Amino acid sequence: MAKKRITENDSYIPAPLAEQPITETLETNYMPYAMSVIVSRAIPEIDGLKPAHRKLLYTMYKMGLLGGKLTKSANVVGQTMKLNPHGDSAIYETMVRLTKGNEALLHPLVESQGNFGKQYSRDMAYAASRYTEVRLDPICQEFFGDINKNTVKFVDNYDGEMKEPTLLPVAFPNILVNPNQGIAVGMASNICSFNLREVCSAVIQYLKHPKSDILEIMPAPDFPLGAEILYDEAQMREIYDTGKGSFKMRAVYEYDKANNCIEITEIPYTTTIEAILSKIMELMKANKLKEISDARDETGLAGFKLTIDLKRGVDPDALMLKLFKLTPLEDSFACNFNLLIDNVPMVLGVKGIFDEWIKFRLDCVKNGIKFDIDKKTEKLHLLTGLKKILLDIDKAISIIRHTEKEADVVPNLMTGFSLDKVQAEYIAEIKLRNLNKEYIINRTAEIEKLLSELDELNRILSSETELKKLIAKQLKQIADKYGKDRKTRLVKNDEVQEYREEKVVDDFPLTLFITKEGYAKKVSAVSLRSTTSEHKLKENDEISQTIEATNADEIIVFTDKCSAYKSRLCDMPDSKVSGLGEYLPSLLDFEQGEKAVYAVVPKKYEGFMLFSFKNGKMAKVELKNYETKSNRKRLINAYSDKSELSGMLWLPADCEIVAFADNNKVIAVDTGKIPLKSTKSTQGVQVMKLTKKGATLSKTVTAQNSGLIDTKHYRTKNIPAAGSFLRTEDTQLSLF
């Protein structure tokens, strides 16, 4: 049937697109790609290598570059393409990171000659592969030691022409010794490096005592660029337990007094010299680093160096604290110990990685021993056959000599000496010159040695304890042979100084008014003197506190949720008497439903806080306990929550106070009788006995503010005391 011709007047209607559910599209098209990236490219495996690393190292091993001479990098790249189809530039970039010249690894796997760039520089380009030379580093002996003993599984390469290992039989936990970062699809991996000597010692200890604290042996990561770790044991323990978390690192510097400059010689592993210089220059242009006259990269043959020239009179240590705060000279390393275990991505803690590596290494050692047993058993079998002809060498020669057909030699030997085919083949292949008594005796003398070796190998193979001892012995040898001292130093939290930007505060006297509804008015003395207005307050609100202070003072606001919020009065907007003031819950960012109860301007943090509770107890806490070195705004557990609060007072020194109960009882007591507690959340001591059921302590004031005519009537020598009933002449002063 002829097709209709479409003319200009005809309208073209495209065929409708086939609809496909998005879940089906993802499953059939996207998921295979995502899994390929995760399993075959981005996430390291238990040997500490990604596929690209493994293919490169195995190629170099097959090229004889372990202990051999240096060869051009281009040669290695070309050979690696037989296993890795991703192109020469990708292979060379992989090699660059593994070299000693790049300084990216604690224990580089490739010895190098030529320019391979630097890990700490994003702009320092490495030379082309035709100019540089490489070979495997001696530590790679521990990667390939038993690879020819069927220790690991081999698979076909991408075109089926060659075999390659799925893992390398690494004799130490390389996964933790050299840093590894990878970004897959929907997941990532970021494993920091640890000191080889410490890792080997930790694994040895773990093999002996699985419940031992490995943090005592390997306290923290170690990086090839050195620098300092701001060490927090609890933070590090969380990383060790979960495989996730972060820690901070700082650069190491020296002050050159002669040239009035700071020389930075080590920087965090996560940053680059260009990023640091760029940030410093940006801050200098913004006029935020007036202390610096110049900064430059002076890295050379002697190693890394970043120089910062200072202006006259600048304190170098104070400036470095500022630079740590404002630039990548202090940076964080975010840990994510994600690795592939049997092609399944898992986030493991350090002990989890130890478990998986030990399991992997046990399999490698077992396979190697089985290989040795098979080889020695095979050799023993041949020598046992050779021993049989020792009794009558002439007979063996006669059988061979008088056999007419070559094909009958082996069967005739088998019949003549009761040999099997393998033994007979071996004897038939012996050269005529070796068919003598001396040769046969020398060879068969190995039988006893082989039997002894086979017994020992079978004994080790049958005992997991012996296998673990063997692994521990190998780890000890590796640590002694390749171990290095730590490069990254640890600085404990209590030794760390933080930069605090000193804000220039316009200081002046003021009066602070706090209302019962939680409003605060900061009114300067000048404004207060000149005003004739009355306080503007919300309906049913009233002034609860009036505090004399200055603009440079701090304020602590206690809330009904046992918290205390700290702020500086200079950060609080100025108010007028005629205004409502600032609402403290909004100003200090209280939690939902939290209300202000009491405010203190601590000045020099002298005196103490007296907390009164409805159960008759009082807690006396030094104000110094609320002083903090850091800029924390909220202090939790500021006072006890065991009983409902009835009031609080700041007292500069011990004095007489008066407490009122809602059953009309009153007690007057000297605060010197109340013991001072060191814990903010203390329940205190019983001061007022509440004899009537359901009675509560409702109010505590100083004696001079009690309104009582004479406090002697209510005074008590010892606590706790029930107090006295409120007298008639004092009744009008009571709130009840």
CA geometry: angle 567, 569, 571, nearest 5 deg: 75
CA 612 to chain CA centroid, Å, is 44
Say how far apart CA 230 and CA 247 lie, in whole Å: 7
| Mode of pairing for the β-strands spanning 564-568 and 554-559 | antiparallel
- Beta carbons within 8 Å of 114's beta carbon, 6+ residues apart: 73, 101, 127, 131, 132, 133
92 part of the active site:
no
The two tokens of residue 424 are 């007979």
**Contact between residue 243 and residue 391 where contact means Cβ atoms under 8 Å apart:** no
Distance set, CA 271 to CA 123, 175, 275, 447, 490 (Å): 13, 22, 7, 62, 19
The two tokens of residue 499 are 């930069």
**Contact between residue 303 and residue 360 where contact means Cβ atoms under 8 Å apart:** no
Say how far apart CA 463 and CA 272 lie, in whole Å: 50
The two tokens of residue 700 are 């505590």
The two tokens of residue 341 are 């275990």
Q: Is the peptide bond before 720 cis (omega within 30 degrees of 0)?
A: yes
Dump the DSSP string for 543-603: EEEEEEEETT-EEEEEETTS-EEEEEGGGSPP--TTS--EEHHHHTTPPTT--EEEEE--T
Say how far apart CA 717 and CA 71 lie, in whole Å: 95
Say how far apart CA 569 and CA 511 lie, in whole Å: 11
Please name which of 574, 577, 575 lies closest in space to residue 533, comparing C-alpha atoms. Answer: 577
The two tokens of residue 381 are 């079998």
Distance set, CA 12 to CA 1, 9, 16, 348, 693 (Å): 20, 10, 12, 59, 94
Half-sphere exposure of 485 (CA within 13 A, CB side): 1
Q: What are phi and psi of 336, to 5 degrees?
A: -150, 90
Say how far apart CA 717 and CA 468 lie, in whole Å: 73
> b vs e for 473-485, b when ≥16 Cβ sit within 10 Å of the residue's Cβ?
ebbeebbeebbee
Distance set, CA 314 to CA 139, 263, 278, 309, 379 (Å): 47, 15, 22, 10, 79
**Contact between residue 727 and residue 710 where contact means Cβ atoms under 8 Å apart:** no
Could you give the 3-state DSSP secondary structure of residue 711?
coil
Say how far apart CA 371 and CA 454 lie, in whole Å: 11
Say how far apart CA 657 and CA 611 lie, in whole Å: 12
Using only C-alpha atoms, the chain has a radius of gyration, in whole angstroms, of 41
CA 357 to chain CA centroid, Å, is 20
Say how far apart CA 642 and CA 324 lie, in whole Å: 43
Q: What are phi and psi of 182, to 5 degrees?
A: -155, 140
Alpha helices in 253-349 (DSSP H): 273-285, 316-326
For residue 638, which amino acid is it? A
Question: Which of the residues 30, 131, 426, 626 is marked catalytic?
Answer: 131
Say how far apart CA 122 and CA 726 lie, in whole Å: 81
| Mode of pairing for the β-strands spanning 617-622 and 676-677 | parallel
* Beta bridge partners of residue 599, listed in sequence order: 557
**Could you list the active site residues?**
131
